Structure 1
Amino acid sequence: MHSPETESPSQRLDAQFHAALARWTRSLSVVSPALALADWALHLSLSPGRRMELAALAHEQAMTLAAQARDGLLGARDGEGTPAPDRRFAAPEWQHWPFSALAQGFLMQEAWWREATREVWGVDRHHGDLVAFWARQLLDMGSPANLPWTNPEVLRRTWAEGGLNFARGAQAWADDLQRLLTGAPPAGTEGFAVGRNLAVTPGKVVWRNALMELIQYAPQTAAVQAEPLLIVPAWIMKYYILDLAPGSSLVEYLVQQGHTVFVISWKNPGAEQRDLGMEDYLQLGVAEALQAVNAIVPRRKVHAVGYCLGGTLAAIAAAAMARDGDDRLASLTLFAAQTDFSEPGELGLFIDESQLSLLEAQMRQRGYLRADQMAGAFQMLRSYDLLWSRMVQQYLLGERPALNALMAWNADATRMPAHMHGDYLRELFLRNDLAEGRYLVGGHAIALSDLQLPMFVVGTETDHVAPWRSVYKLHHLCPAEIRFVLTSGGHNAGIVSPPGQGHRHYRMATAAPGRPYVAPKDWFEQAPVAEGSWWPAWAAWLAERGGPRVKPPRLGAKAAPVLGDAPGTYVLER
C-alpha cells in the first residue's frame, strides 16, 4: 500500500476510486471472483474428459430424481433411497414427498457443483476454491429450506397458527431493520451489561496506555501458584469472552484454581489510531503488560496465554524474546491461534492481492476496519448457521430465540486500525512471513524454531477461523515440547468450555522434543478421547509448571498502581 505522503496524484485517484468501489461491494473484490470464474470456465472448456464425467453425473442424478418422483406419485414409501439427512432437512416433515424430492434435488445440485469445481486440469487452487465457495453461496440463497412455500416445517406452523408466525416474523424483521439502520445492538443484548452480568470477576486495572489496559484479578484462594499468567486476547474481540458470566468464565476458573491472572483489555480503536501497527501491539501491548506483571510479581517467570490473533501475537513476542535472550516466560499457551498461514481454511478465500488492495483503500480513508465488515465475512463462511437458519427461525417460523452470554459478547465487536490490519493480512496471511522466518520485530527477523519453552496448544474441531490442522502446523515449526489438545466445538464455543457442560470431549497428546513428527490425520486417530472439558487438563499442566504455592501478591504495585476496578474503561468503548 502506497503511503499518502509519497504517492502520485494518479495513485491517489486510484485509491479513492477503489475506496468508493468498496462501499458499493461491501468491501468484497469483484475482480477476484471474476478471475477465478474465468480460470475455471476456460480450463473446464479445455477438459473434454472432465466435462463428460460431469455430464454423466448430472444424468445419473436426473435419473435418481425421476425415479423418486415416480415412486412418490405411485405412493411408494416416503424418503426411500435418500442419503442420510442433511441437518437442514433433518426434520420428519422433509421425509415426505414432494419435500423429500426437493431436498434431494438441492443436495444433488450441491454435490454436482462440489464435483465440478475440483480436479479441473490447470485451475489454480485458490480460484477453484473461490468458484466452489460462491457457487455454494448462490445455491444456499435458493435452498428449499429458506423459502416459505417449499419448507414443510414453515407450512405446518403456518397452518397450525393461522399465519401468526408470519406476523411475529414481520415484527422481528422490522425491529432488526430499525436496529441495523440506527446502529443499535441486536435484540436481547439489553439483558447483558459488562460489569453487571458479564466480566464480573473481581479485579483491578493496574496499567493503562494508549492501546490497552491491564487487569489483575483478585485472588480467591489462600495461596497461589508462584508464577502468574498473562492472557493476550485478540484485538478483533473484547477480552471478556474469557470472563463471561459466572460459571462460564475461564478467568474465574483459573483464579479459583489458585492462579494469579492478568488480562490485556485492548482499546477499541478509532481513526486517530490509524497508524498503529503490529509493532505497536507488541510493544505497547505485550511488552508493557509483561513489564507491569514483573513489577507486581517480581523475580518470577510468567506463563503467557494467547487466544486467536492474540495467540499469534504472543508467539511472535515469545520468539522475539528467545532471539534476544529474554527468559522471562515460563511457558506458552495458545488457544485457536495460527502461526503458519499457508492453509488458513476458508478465511483464505478473502485474502488475495485484489481483496487486500480494496480493503486497504477503504481503510486508509476511514482509518480502521469496521466490526461489521469482519462479521460479514464470518457470516458467509458459515452462512447456514449464522444467516439462513436464523432467518428461517425468526422471520418464517416466528421464533425469537433468547440471547445467551456468548451471543451477547459476539454482538459487542471491535474495530481494527488500518495500518495494523494491513500488516497482519499481508505479512502473515498473504506472505506467511512468520512461519518462513521473514517476520521482523525491531528490524530483525524472528524464527519460531528459537522457541524452547513448553507449550500447551488448543485447536477446535469445527473452527472456521483457525482450522485445527493449521494450528497443528506449529509442530513442525519449533522443537519445543507441545501438548496439543483438540476439543469439540468451534472457534469460540470450543474455548469457552467450562466443566459440567454436556456433550463435550477432547483429544490430547504430547509431542516431546526429538520424537518423530506425527501428521494431523495420524494424530487424530492415535490421540485418546476424553469426555468433558479440557480446562482441568490445562489447569493440571499449569500446576506442574507454576512453582510452589505462595502468599498471593497484592493488587498493583508502586510501578503499576491501581487505576480503577475491573473491567476497566476500554472494554466499554463502542
Structure 2
Amino acid sequence: MDQNRPDPILQYIVNNPEAFADNLAKVIEQGGKAIAAYLEPIEKGETTPSYGDEINDWVKTLSHVGQYWLSDPNRAMEAQTRLWAGYMSIWSSTLQKMAGEKADPAIEPDPKDKRFKDPEWSENQFFDFLKQVYLVTTRWAEDLVEEAEDIDEHTRHKAEFYVRQLANAMSPSNFIFTNPELLRATATSNGENLVRGMKMLAEDIERGGGKLRIRQTALKGFEVGETLATTPGKVIAQNEVRQLIQYSPTTETVKKKPVLVVPPWINKFYILDLTPEKSFIKWMVDEGYTVFVVSWVNPDANLAEKTFEDYMREGVIESFDLVQKATGEDKIDVIGYCVGGTLTAMTLAYMAETGDHRADTVTFLATQVDFKHAGDLKVFVDPEQLLSLEAHMREKGYLEGERMAAAFNLLRSNDLIWPYVVNNYVKGQEPFPFDLLYWNSDSTRMPAANHSFYLRNFYLENRLTEGTLTVGNHRISLGDVTIPVYNLATREDHIAPARSVFEGSRFFGGEVRYTLAGSGHIAGVVNPPSKNKYQFWSDAPVEGDYDDWLTRATEHAGSWWPDWRDWMQAHAKGEEVKARKPGGGKLKPIEDAPGSYVKVKS
C-alpha cells in the first residue's frame, strides 16, 4: 500500500462527532416539520391520500408476471438459477479482486448512466459489489417481464414500466449508506447536508399542499412577464377557456398571412417564449410574421364540463374569427404543439368537413394524431384506470396539475425525479436556476370532461385515425385535411414518440413534410439557431416505416427553425404588407402580453 496515500476509509468517517450529533437533532426537528406539512391538509379534510389505486394496479400488473414464472416449478427453478448464477459471478469477481487479482466485472452499467460516475463505484470493492448486485437484479427482473408468456401486450408494457420505476427507486445511488458520494458529503459536513435537505423537503411538501413537489430548479429569479414570456404584445380578446395574444411587430413589413399558434394546455404557452434568446415567438416576430398565440385558462371546478369540443370552438375556431377580424385576412397559417396540435388536427378536419377553408398551412410540433405507438403514457390508460381517474376528477371537477406533472416526470424518472431527490434532500444542495425546468414545474389543471374525452377518444380508442370520431354531429377524417403539413417530431421524445408522429403523417390528405429534430419533446422544439445545438433530419418522403425513413433522410446540423422558415416562405407567395398593430383597430387590447391567464398558479 502506498504510504503517502491517505487511508480511503477516513473520507467516510465523521470528523466532529459532537457537531454530527447536533445536526442529527436538527434533522429530526426538520423531519417533524415535514411530517406536519404532510398531515396538516389531511387533518383539515383538504386532501386525502390517493395512491391506493395506483399501488393496486402495480401489484395486479406485476402479479401477472409472477404467476407465469411461479405456476410451473421448472420455470420457477430456471428463474432462480439464472439470478443466483449472476450473483455467483459477482462473488467470484469480488473474491479475485480481494486477492489482488485483476478481474472483469460481471456486469457494467450503461455508459450513459450518470448514477455510477463516481470512481468509488469501481475502485471500492464494497460499492462495486453493491452496484453489480443491483444491475444483475434489475436486468434479471426486466428479462422476466420480457420473456413472460400468456400476458397481453398492454399488461407487459405496464409491467416493463413498473419494473423500471421500481429499479430506479431502489438504486443504491439514492441512499446515503450505499452511495459513496453521499456518504462522503455527510461525513465531511458532519451531517449539515442532511439538515439543509430535510429543511427543503419540509418546504416542498408544504408548497405542494401536503404532497411532495420536487423542486427541479431554484424558485427565485423567475417571474412570468418579467424574466420569462417578455415578448411585447397585447391580449386582444378572451373568453372562459383562453386569452388571445397578438404580438407587436418588429419589422416595417410583415408576411401577408398571419400565424395562429395553438399550444398545449398541459403546461403553459410560454415554453415558446422563455427568455428572448430562446423564444420561438420572438424569433417568428423578428422574421416578419404577425403572430397570434392562444393562452389557455388554468381551469378550476367552474369549468368542469368544458369539453374537447368546447376547446375546439371557443379556443381555436373563435381564434380564427378574431385573427381574421384583426388582420382582414381570410387565409391563416396555424401551428399546433403537443395536445394543442392534436386539437388543431381535429379542428382542421372538422373545418374541412363543414366547408371552412381559412387554414392555409399547418405546422405540428411534437404532435400525435395516431396513438398506436404512443409510448409509455399509454401505461396510464386502460378502461379500469380511466374509470378510477374519472371518478377522481368528478370529485374536484378537474385533474390536478401535479398529477399530470408526476406522470410526465415518471417517463424520465432517472432524469427528472431521483437526481433531484438525491441532490436536494440528501446532498442539501439548491438546484441550479433553469428556465425550462421552472416552466416544467408551473403546472396546469385540466377540466374533467375535456381530459376524459382526450384520454378515451385518442389514447384508448384512437378514434381520430380510425375514422370513428364524431364532432358536432360530423364524422371527421384527417384525409380531408389537404393543406400543406409541416410535421415535426423529436428523436428522444417520451411524450410524442418520433415513430408515432411519423405514422400519423400518413393520414393527412395532402403534402406532408416530416422532419425529425434531435433531443426531446421540449429541447428539440425550443432550439434557436443561435445556439447551434443538435441537428435535424428531413428531405425524405413519408414512405415505408420509420426506420426506413431515417436511413433515407438527410441530416442537417443545427436548428430546424430556418428549415421551417424556408418551407413557410415557399407557401407564402412572397406577399408582404405593412406591419400590423395588435388588434388592427378592430379589437381593443385588454392588457399587455403575456396576459393574466398564464399567471394563475395551480
TM-score (norm 1): 0.90
Question: What secondary structure, in the 3-state scheme, does the structure 2 residue paired with 1:192 have?
Answer: coil
Cα displacement (A) at 1:182? 7.1
The within-5 A match list for 1:372-391 is 372-391=402-421
Question: What secondary structure, in the 3-state scheme, does the structure 2 residue paired with 1:117 have?
Answer: helix
**Cα distance change, pair 136–300 in 1 and its aligned pair in 2 (3 A):** same
The within-5 A match list for 1:162-201 is 162-181=190-209, 186=215, 188-201=218-231
Q: State the alpha-carbon separation in 1 of the partners of residues 566 and 296 from structure 2.
A: 29
Counterpart selection for 1:537 from 543, 552, 563: 563
Q: State the alpha-carbon separation in 2 of the partners of residues 396 and 30 from structure 1.
A: 26
Counterpart selection for 2:490 from 445, 460, 463: 460
Q: State the alpha-carbon separation in 2 of the partners of residues 34 and 150 from structure 1.
A: 27
Q: State the alpha-carbon separation in 2 of the partners of residues 164 and 31 from structure 1.
A: 38
Cα displacement (A) at 1:503? 4.3
Q: Name the counterpart of 1:210.
A: 240
Question: What secondary structure, in the 3-state scheme, does the structure 2 residue paired with 1:36 have?
Answer: helix
Structure 1 unaligned residues grouped into runs of 5+: 1-19
Cα displacement (A) at 1:215? 0.4
**Deviation digits for residues 159-205 of structure 1, max 9, x if unmatched?**
44444333332333233233234799957333111111111101111
Q: State the alpha-carbon separation in 2 of the partners of residues 528 and 98 from structure 1.
A: 48
Cα displacement (A) at 1:524? 2.0
AA at the equivalent of 2:251: T
**Cα distance change, pair 316–535 in 1 and its aligned pair in 2 (3 A):** same
Counterpart selection for 1:107 from 111, 118, 135: 135
Indicate yes or no: 2:579 matched with 1:549.
no
Q: State the alpha-carbon separation in 2 of the partners of residues 329 and 475 from structure 1.
A: 18
Indicate yes or no: 2:390 matched with 1:360.
yes
Compare 75-84 and 445-454 and name the one that shifted more.
Answer: 75-84
Question: What secondary structure, in the 3-state scheme, does the structure 2 residue paired with 1:98 have?
Answer: helix
The within-5 A match list for 1:114-513 is 114-181=142-209, 186=215, 188-501=218-531, 503-511=533-541
Q: State the alpha-carbon separation in 2 of the partners of residues 330 and 243 from structure 1.
A: 24
Cα displacement (A) at 1:561? 2.7
**Deviation digits for residues 124-160 of structure 1, max 9, x if unmatched?**
1111222222222223222110111111122233344
Indicate yes or no: 2:69 matched with 1:44.
yes
Structure 2 unaligned residues grouped into runs of 5+: 1-44
Q: State the alpha-carbon separation in 1 of the partners of residues 321 and 294 from structure 2.
A: 13
Tell me how many residue pairs correspond in the alignment: 550
Contact 2:370 2:464 in 1 (8 A): yes
**Deviation digits for residues 24-54 of structure 1, max 9, x if unmatched?**
3337445543442343333334567765654
Indicate yes or no: 2:548 matched with 1:518.
no
AA at the equivalent of 1:26: Y
**Cα distance change, pair 101–405 in 1 and its aligned pair in 2 (3 A):** same
Contact 2:397 2:447 in 1 (8 A): yes
Cα displacement (A) at 1:398? 2.7
Aligned sequence identity (%): 37
AA at the equivalent of 1:384: N
**Deviation digits for residues 500-539 of structure 1, max 9, x if unmatched?**
3254122223427xxxx22111122222222211112112
Question: What secondary structure, in the 3-state scheme, does the structure 1 residue paired with 2:370 have?
Answer: coil
Cα displacement (A) at 1:319? 1.1
Compare 41-50 and 186-195 and name the one that shifted more.
Answer: 41-50
Counterpart selection for 1:70 from 95, 109, 122: 95
Compare 44-53 and 351-360 and name the one that shifted more.
Answer: 44-53
Q: State the alpha-carbon separation in 2 of the partners of residues 109 and 468 from structure 1.
A: 31
Give every structure 1 segment of 4 or more consecutive aligned residues whose post-TM-superposition deviation is greater than 6 Å.
Answer: 182-185
Q: Name the counterpart of 2:120.
A: 93
Contact 2:350 2:474 in 1 (8 A): no
AA at the equivalent of 2:93: Q
Contact 1:47 1:120 in 2 (8 A): no
Contact 1:202 1:217 in 2 (8 A): yes
Question: What secondary structure, in the 3-state scheme, does the structure 1 residue paired with 2:368 have?
Answer: coil
**Deviation digits for residues 533-558 of structure 1, max 9, x if unmatched?**
11121122112222322212232145
Q: Name the counterpart of 2:590.
A: 563
Q: State the alpha-carbon separation in 2 of the partners of residues 546 and 237 from structure 1.
A: 31
Q: State the alpha-carbon separation in 1 of the partners of residues 263 and 387 from structure 2.
A: 27
Contact 1:35 1:127 in 2 (8 A): no
AA at the equivalent of 1:104: Q
Contact 1:369 1:418 in 2 (8 A): yes
Indicate yes or no: 2:592 matched with 1:528.
no
**Cα distance change, pair 503–109 in 1 and its aligned pair in 2 (3 A):** farther
Q: State the alpha-carbon separation in 2 of the partners of residues 270 and 410 from structure 1.
A: 20
TM-score (norm 2): 0.86
Question: What secondary structure, in the 3-state scheme, does the structure 2 residue paired with 1:316 have?
Answer: helix
Q: State the alpha-carbon separation in 2 of the partners of residues 534 and 79 from structure 1.
A: 44
Cα displacement (A) at 1:388? 1.1
Question: What secondary structure, in the 3-state scheme, does the structure 2 residue paired with 1:554 have?
Answer: coil
AA at the equivalent of 2:597: Y
Compare 368-377 and 177-186 and name the one that shifted more.
Answer: 177-186
